[in-house]
Amino acid sequence: MRVCLLLVLLAAACGGPRRSEDSKVRDQEIKRDIMMEFQGDERFVDVRVTCEKGVVTLDGAVLDQAENDRAQYLAGGVSGVEEVRSRLRHRSR
């Protein structure tokens, strides 16, 4: 148990996953990690993610502004993200 805790603490101290030196690969890694953050959350099934040079764009639809804010927060928390741009629309209930 102590070994697992130590590994988690060491990983957190390293500042997140290492990213590729190739910008196209790095953007794909960022996109993958954001999609993993959204995975299994029904609020974000209609959200598409693109990334270019660390700038993430969210397109699609969410229910309301709170979901829009949450999507931006999750995306912005991913290592390597420089900026998050939201083009999310609010769908009708």
pLDDT in tens, the chain (93 residues): 554 444 444 444 555 567 767 889 999 999 999 999 999 999 999 999 999 999 999 999 999 999 999 999 999 999 999 999 999 999 876
Q: pTM value?
A: 0.77
Name the pairing type of β-strands 83-90 and 55-62.
parallel
Distance CA 58, CA 51 (A): 9
Strand order in the sheet with 55-62: 47-52, 55-62, 83-90
Per-residue DSSP letter, 60: E
Q: Spell out a b/e string for 20-58, using b for 16 or more CB atoms within 10 Å of the CB, else e.
A: eeeeeebbebbbebbeebbeeeeebeebebebeeeebbb
Q: Identify the structural domains of the chain with CATH numbers, from first to last.
A: 20-90 (3.30.1340.30)
